[in-house]
Amino acid sequence: MPRVRHFDEKAVAFHVTTRTANGAFYMASVAEKQALLLALDFYRRRGDCALYGYVIMANHVHIVVRPGPNSGLPRFVDGFKTWTSRHNTAKPAGTSLWERRYDDNAISTLAELRDVLQYIHNNPVRAKIVATAQEYAWSSIHNYLADGQSMIEIDTPWTQ
């Protein structure tokens, strides 16, 4: 049975989760995580999305975005996955970095958006990688803490 999509163009934002092919740890290295950040930063700056949050794990990524006016969620995700798959050096040549499918959940309110951001920022804690979310470098939590450790800019949904 095909998966039902939750895509809703009236949503405030979308929580997108996608896993690496077979759950392999293709994003375990600093270089691979940096490449994903560069891709997110590129698509954000180009106007394909407003980026509200992210967490990059070794075998999956959480992204909280609002597609740009000329993009749309499927187009944004497809572009992101295609580019990052081409530039990932940890996976075997000729294979895809990502599973074909991805999960997208519409976020309807700012309160729900805050809950989703808290959920994704705590992902490394739940995975027992770090004791607190603030200890994990590959997350947008540092943008919200304004602690000077953010790696890329994000958009602030509460002021848009």
pLDDT at 149: 87
Residue 72: what pLDDT? 86
Give the model confidence (pLDDT) of 115-150 as tens digits.
Answer: 999 999 999 999 999 999 999 999 999 999 988 889
Structural domain boundaries, residue 24: 14-159
**For residue 158, what pLDDT is reported?**
65
Tokens of 2: 């095909």
Residue carrying the six token digits 């803490």: 145
Query: pLDDT for 42-99, tens place per residue?
Result: 999 999 999 999 999 999 999 999 998 887 899 999 999 999 998 888 898 888 899 9
* Cβ atoms 32, 90 nearer than 8 A: yes
Q: Is the pLDDT of residue 7 over 70?
A: no
Domain membership of residue 8 (yes or no) is no
pLDDT value, residue 1: 36
Cα dihedral sign for 151, 102, 98, 49? negative
Residue 6 lies in a domain: no
**pLDDT value of position 4:** 46
95 by DSSP, 3-state: which?
Answer: coil
| Total domains, the chain | 1
Domain of residue 79, CATH code? 3.30.70.1290
Query: Looking at the domain assignment, is residue 69 inside a domain?
Result: yes
Residue-wise burial string across 10-31, b where 16 or more C-beta atoms lie within 10 A, e elsewhere: ebbbbbbbbbbbeebebbeeee
133 neighbors 124 (Cβ within 8 angstroms): yes
Residue 43 pLDDT? 94
Is residue 92 assigned to a domain?
A: yes
pTM: 0.90
Asked whether the beta carbons of 108 and 39 are under 8 A apart, the reply is: no
